Amino acid sequence: MSHFTNILRYAKPYKKYAIGHIISNVFYALFSTLSFIALMPMLDVIFDNAKQPPKSIPEFTGLNNIKGFAEDFLSFKMNEFTGGDKAKSLIFVIILIVVMFLLKNIAGYLANYFMVFLRNGVIRDIRNKVYKKTVELPLSFFSEQKKGDIIARVTGDVNDLQYSFLPVLELIIREPLTILFTLATMLLISPQLTLFVFIFIPIMSFVISRIGKSLKRKSGRVQKEQGVFLSTLEETLTGLRIIKGFNAEGLFNSRFQESTNRFYNFSNKLLNRQNLASPTSEILGIIMVSGILWYGGNLVLSGNPGTALDGSAFLVYMTLSYQILTPAKAITRGIYNIKKGGAAAERIQEIIDSPNPIKDKPNAIELKGFNSEIEFKNISFKYQDEYVLKDFTLKIPKGQTVALVGQSGSGKSTIANLITRFYHVNKGDILIDNFNINDLTTRSLRKQLGIVTQDAILFNDSISNNLKLGKLDATDNDVIEALKIANAWEFVKNLPEGIHTNIGDAGGKLSGGQKQRLSIARAVLKSPPIMILDEATSALDTESERVVQVALENMMKNRTSIVIAHRLSTIQNADNIVVLNKGEIVEQGKHDELITKKGVYKKLVDMQSFE
């Protein structure tokens, strides 16, 4: 129930709809009971069993006599309108029944009307909360999660809540009140018979709870498996070219089918257990009604003045007892749904409650600009067990270009991840203008940074909107100027709609060099004082590399740049080249100085000259 309570917290902003829903359900439950009670005077008229109406309006003498007062009051009013005519009395009672059912259904419609806004609002807010938290969480969280599983939680699990937990909100007031009003009326008609009914309630509750115990566990398996096959689908769509190139369609098809088969088996077990709810409650209900028929029939036949029932009261009582079955079945389904929805709520809450180590401190400083230097001060970092950076120390004065080189796994890209606060350092400090970046707001820190990665990450949108990612208020002229600096305008101007051309999923309509130049243009448009280039040309062919390299040099003018390079020919003009090996600095200096030293850098250059 704790997860159910957590979900209910999201209903607070929709308080007015909740109140409207509750009030409507109160009237629904009331008119639902009254509509059946109104059958009693009609049956009395038909069976010529009507009481002699009182001469004047009866007085209410207290709750002890509420049944007698209600009968006398209705009898008096009916006689007043009909003058004792039985045909007119019958019409009066029929109109009364129609009015009761009309009011009941109006109240039911209003309850559903308010619930639409409440339920859809809660689902929207939960989905938004999960997405917002997903965006806020550090990259380290997603290195341990499958993307498909995250997608399953935001879509499938939230939908499960919509069809499991949230319908229960409709049951919280309506069904218990319907049962309460019905039982109260049954007590007024026959206390002895109602006490007999109460014997069955604990039995029904026990059987239902036994059946529902394993639903949460079975539901959790279904939702987890959904995440598995969605991950397989996501990986297939991302790597389709490789899958086809290596003739691996059969392998991935088998992997997907194995997951969907497990999903099929888990779903069958879950739904079959769930399907027990309705027949179980109905069978128990029929057993209860059969017991009432036996015991109540004996009361009618006994003729005992203290406990006897007349025929019309017994028929109404039977109708009311069967009336209990509908809300009882609904509550049973609600209990099953809470069990089933518990697994979905747990998976959603797992994301919402995930700690975010990159969160800003309470009194975080707003970095207004970049004035003097960046300093890496004895930093050490590890992703898992082994340190990939060890006591790394480096100063980068404003305006300088520093290149980081070394073999794969030497820690080059890790430095880019740390200065952008995608990860926190384990030891040491990173300072910008003597401010520890952990003391700064993440937003103001990243505002000073421009990033161009090896993989040109673009979105299924226009060129203009892709470039404006870091500067939403940029004009079309600003966009064009950025494209010119990035050597991208020459191909963009020839596109059908220019800067407003849609580039497709992940920029699929463009070549690798074109995509990379757009990435550079995006960083140029943002115009940050610090640029981070993470192997920005390593995935390009020689011709594209030359064009992109010119674009990079244009971009780096008058800026502080950290260049992570695989192709050493692209960083020969850097102010400082830092050579890394297994997370440690082994050499640093200008290109000519390092060549003269004939150390690690010279070996790297010689190796590439033969490639």
Q: Are residues 44 and 164 in the same domain?
A: yes
Q: Are residues 343 and 385 in the same domain?
A: no
Q: Structure tokens of 365? A: 């400083």
Q: Are residues 95 and 186 in the same domain?
A: yes
Nearest to 449 by CA among 490, 499, 502, 396: 396
CATH number, residue 438: 3.40.50.300
Burial class (CB in 10 A: 0-12, 13-18, 19+), 556: middle
Reported as half-sphere exposure (CB side, CA atoms, 13 A), residue 48 has a value of 0
Question: Domain count of the chain?
Answer: 2
- Enclosing domain of residue 273: 2-352
11 and 169 Cβ atoms separated by less than 8 Å: yes
In a domain, 549, yes or no: yes
Among 321, 352, 383, give the residue marking a domain's end. 352
Q: Are residues 298 and 398 in the same domain?
A: no
584 and 390 Cβ atoms separated by less than 8 Å: yes
For the residues of 514-570, what is the DSSP string, one character each?
Answer: HHHHHHHHHHHHH--SEEEEESTTTTS-HHHHHHHHHHHHHHHTTSEEEEE-SSGGG
Residue with tokens 């350092």: 425
Among 294, 319, 352, give the residue marking a domain's end. 352
CB atoms under 10 Å from CB of 492, counted, come to 25
Residue 110: the pLDDT is 93
Q: What are phi and psi of 47, to 5 degrees?
A: -90, 10
In a domain, 584, yes or no: yes
- Counting every residue, how long is the chain? 611
CB atoms under 10 Å from CB of 12, counted, come to 10
Q: Structure tokens of 345? A: 């709520």
In a domain, 358, yes or no: no
Q: Are residues 32 and 162 in the same domain?
A: yes
Q: Are residues 337 and 446 in the same domain?
A: no
In a domain, 361, yes or no: no
Q: Are residues 65 and 195 in the same domain?
A: yes
Residue 44: the pLDDT is 60
Residue 60: the pLDDT is 58
> Could you tell me what percentage of the chain is helix, strand and coil, using 3-state DSSP and rounding each to the nearest 5?
65, 10, 25
Pairing of strands 427-432, 584-589: unpaired
CATH number, residue 159: 1.20.1560.10
For the residues of 322-351, what is the DSSP string, one character each?
Answer: HHHHHHHHHHHHHHHHHHHHHHHHHHHHHH
Q: What are phi and psi of 59, to 5 degrees?
A: -95, 145
Residue 201, CA distances (Å) to 33, 115, 177, 284, 498 in order: 19, 29, 16, 9, 72
Q: What are phi and psi of 493, to 5 degrees?
A: -65, -20
Q: Are residues 496 and 552 in the same domain?
A: yes
In a domain, 534, yes or no: yes
Q: Are residues 22 and 68 in the same domain?
A: yes
Q: Are residues 178 and 133 in the same domain?
A: yes
Please identify every stretch of the chain with a pLDDT value under 50, giving residue numbers as ranges: 610-611
Q: Are residues 296 and 391 in the same domain?
A: no
Residue 106: the pLDDT is 94
Q: Structure tokens of 68? A: 């007698």
Residue 75: the pLDDT is 62
Residue with tokens 């009971």: 33
What is the model's pTM?
Answer: 0.70
Residue 521: the pLDDT is 85
Please name the helix (run of DSSP H) or strand (run of DSSP E) that holds residue 427, with its range, or none: strand 427-432
In a domain, 360, yes or no: no
In a domain, 367, yes or no: no
Burial class (CB in 10 A: 0-12, 13-18, 19+), 120: middle
Among 352, 383, 411, give the residue marking a domain's end. 352
Residue 611: the pLDDT is 45
Phi-psi region of 406 (alpha: psi -120 to 50; beta: other; left: phi over 0): left
- d(CA 552, CA 574) in angstroms, rounded, equals 12
Residue with tokens 């997907």: 256
Torsion over CA: 409, 411, 412, 418 (sign): positive
Residue 213: the pLDDT is 56
In a domain, 368, yes or no: no
Nearest to 392 by CA among 583, 578, 587: 583
- d(CA 580, CA 586) in angstroms, rounded, equals 6
Q: Are residues 402 and 339 in the same domain?
A: no
- d(CA 548, CA 545) in angstroms, rounded, equals 5
